[in-house]
Structure 1
Amino acid sequence: MNSNIVTWVLSALSSLQNEAVVSPFEFKGDKENEFLIFFKPEVFFSADEALIGESINMTLDKLTQNDIEVNWAILFTGSRLAELEIMDRHYGFINKVSKNISKIATAEEKEKMYDVLEISNPEEYEILGGHEFLAANPDFDEESLDALWQTKKSARVRSGFYAQKFDINWKNVILVNAFHPVQLKHYTNPTHKTVVLLCSSDRAWNELKDKVAWDTFPEKSVPESVRGEFFANKEKYGLKEVSISFNCVHMSAGAFEAGFEIDNFLKNVSASAYAPTKTNLYNKILAAGLTDEDKIMNFLTNPKNSEGQSLFDVTENINTIPAVNVFVSDFN
């Protein structure tokens, strides 16, 4: 199976298709956990096809070693990801803030920004998200904005919300999530490609995260993980850099985040014949006794429980059945 996937991916990379199913789709439902793993664009930057093949094969071998089955694979170009706004939804709140913070910032959020940035004259500052700033300042692009952002340590306002003050062209500006435009462009650049795998396993979710993706910082990853191997032997795989910005693979963090990601990547792909009712998660929720479709699909909104905790956070690194039990009891 692995050799077939490698062949399919290499063929799809050389094709002119914006979207290519590179392995047959199959929602098996015979394992407890179903999730996405995707190869990030940097895996495919090498001009040497053999090195790209090594990257894919090594990753697939590690999945097999950890009892992970690959049930299908699909390739997207950056143009297709942009057209379908897949990565906008993938980044969620981070993206929303970068594109809209000047319109949606609450009074409380503004006060928190002024406080953490030690601003005593807020009336002299304009608040702009990274994408808003680029729209208003055509002399900047994603890369130059990111370079500016990196000149200072940003302040955390709350999860997914980072700010810093700057004097730009004689104007006082509070930039919010100005790292995100270049982060998003990495995926939506028309020349870049991303390959997504639908996977399933009976292994414990936290064990899979440790053995496969491990830490966001590759240098902290255990050697036997995919990121650890990429970091230790980047030349072997034709990689110029392996870092937090270029860590090569992504894995869903939990059952409900996985359900969101599967829906996000597949709902507009006709060749997948996707329907939420086919997924492992949906059917395990039914088995747990929740049968109202609207209530089931509400998980896509990442709801909060009575303590203000989000579903995705509460169920991170938890196997699907106990995660479903939490959803049914605490979020409905």
Structure 2
Amino acid sequence: MKNAIKDAIRSAQHSTCRTLPIYRDEVTSYGKNNWLCFIKPEITRPSESINLDAILELILDRIGAFGLTIHSATLLSADYLKDHRLIKQHYGVLDEVATRGLAALSEVAVERLEALSGQPLANLKVLGGFEILESYPFFNAHSLDCLWQNQENIKLGGGAYVEKLRIDLETIYVLNGFHPKQLEHFTVSGRSIVLLDLSGDLSWAESRRHFIGATNPLKAEAGSLRRLLLEQKVSLGLPEVSQSFNGVHLSAGPVEALVERLRFESDYDSGRLIDPASLPFGRQVFETLGHLPEALLNNQVVTWEGHHTSIFDLTEEMDSTKAIEVLSALRL
């Protein structure tokens, strides 16, 4: 499979391909959890220094080590991603927080921000990454990301990260300051992402902690994929492995994985959209609820145990069976 993935990546670097099917296993049954993983452009971009063979061997080795099955592999080119705005949709929460700032934070995230700062919200200046670029035009996406990488960030909730920065005489709590550059990164011609449809009996929490690792590779568990990419970046020929460029994506929870598979595996050039009931978790939802609530696809904010939270946040790192129980209890 390594050579097939490499050939597809090379093809995208040197041609105007849109999408390329690489591999499909229609025999092996799905395990209890189903993730969407994808290899990011920091690995697939044209470069003479990147050791693509070694990187793909590492990724495939870790997938096997955690007992995960690859059911399909597909390449999507940067031009295809840009034309259909798939990355902006994919980073929906990240993008919304970077765009709308404080207004996009959940109730729980606001509480965490107040606890972190030790001050009430009214005393804080809080801006999203795109709001910073609008308010301080001497910053661009690259320079803001450089500043972000030199500070420690804290996760406030799903898709919401904060750093305390001093700009001129102001103290500002910046939300998702890395995202403007992250968005640009995916849409440069010659780049691509490689989708991997994975399943297995590994718990969702274990997959995030030990298989893929934390979003920031510096904080990732030893032996996790993102940590290994960081530790081996010199031999792998990767100039940067960081929170913004961590090499690989893995779905945060089963609802998010369903939405991601529908988004990325549908063929927008031909208009062929995937039926949610054809996917493992979508089928479980249909069998339990009798329908697929729009609230799931829209990541609606719901009330759970007295708190307002999004469905993605609520089901983050839940195994599929537990998520189905929660969705059933919500009576969507």
Relative to the length of structure 1, the TM-score reads: 0.77
For 2:62 and 2:323, the matched residues in 1 are separated by 25
Unaligned runs of 5+ in 2: none
Contact 1:2 1:61 in 2 (8 A): no
Find the counterpart in structure 2 of residue 251 from structure 1.
250
Q: 1:11 to 1:129 in 2, by over 3 A?
A: same
Separation (CA, whole Å) in 2 of partners of 1:132 and 1:46: 31
The Cα of 1:68 is off from its aligned counterpart by 1.4
Q: Could you tell me which residue of structure 2 aligns to residue 236 of structure 1?
A: 235
Task: For residue 254 of structure 1, report the CA deviation from its aligned partner.
Answer: 1.4
Larger radius of gyration: 1
CA 1:104–1:256: 2 relative to 1, 3 Å:
closer
Aligned to 2:303: 305
* Partner Cα separation in structure 2 for residue 208 and residue 8 of structure 1: 26
* Greater Cα offset, 60-69 or 249-258: 60-69
CA RMSD in angstroms comes to 4.0
Structure 2 counterpart of 1:34, which letter?
N
The verdict on how the C-alpha distance between 1:239 and 1:320 changes in structure 2, with shifts beyond 3 A counting, is: same
Instruction: Note the C-alpha offset of 1:201.
Output: 1.5
Contact conserved, 2:12 with 2:77, CA < 8 A, in 1? no
> Identity rate of aligned residues, in percent?
26
Distance 1:57 1:100, change over 3 A: same
**Which 5+ residue runs of structure 1 have no aligned equivalent?**
none
Amino acid at match of 1:245: S
1:53 is paired with a residue whose SS is: helix
The CA deviation string for residues 255-275 of structure 1, in whole angstroms up to 9 with x for no partner, is 111112112223454577622
Distance 1:60 1:49, change over 3 A: farther
Alignment partner, residue 188 of structure 1 = 187
Query: How far apart, in 1, do the equivalents of 2:311 and 2:105 lie?
Result: 23
Q: Secondary structure at the match of 1:22?
A: strand
In 1, Cα distance between the equivalents of 2:139 and 2:35? 38
Within a 5 Å distance, the mapping from 1:25-40 to structure 2 comes to 30-40=30-40
1:30-79: CA deviation from partner (whole Å, max 9, x where unpaired) = 32211111112111346348821221122112212322121222223333
Counterpart of 2:98, as a letter, is S
SS in structure 2 at match of 1:253 = coil
Counterpart mapping for 1:115-264 below 5 A: 129-132=128-131, 134=133, 140-147=139-146, 160=160, 162=162, 177-264=176-263
**Deviation of residue 279 (structure 1)?**
0.8
3-state SS, counterpart of residue 323 of structure 1 = helix
Q: Secondary structure at the match of 2:212?
A: coil
In 1, the alpha carbon distance for the partners of 2:20 and 2:29 equals 24
Check whether the contact 2:165–2:174 (CA below 8 A) recurs between aligned residues.
yes
What residue is the counterpart of 1:96 in the other structure?
96
Matched, 1:329 2:329: yes
What number of residue pairs does the alignment pair up?
Answer: 322
Listed one character per residue, the Cα deviations across residues 92-120 of structure 1 (whole Å, up to 9, x for unaligned) are: 233123334599899xx8xx99x96989x
Stretch moving more, 180-189 or 132-141: 132-141
Distance 1:172 1:228 in 2: 32
Distance 1:220 1:101, change over 3 A: closer
Q: What is the rounded CA distance, in whole Å, between the counterparts of 2:105 and 2:312 in structure 1?
A: 23
CA distance in 2, matches of 1:6, 1:158: 35
TM-score, structure 2 as length reference: 0.77
Q: How far is 1:200 from its partner?
A: 1.6
> Does the 8 Å contact 1:223/1:232 carry over to 2?
no
Per-residue deviation at 1:87?
2.0
Paired residue type of 1:305: T
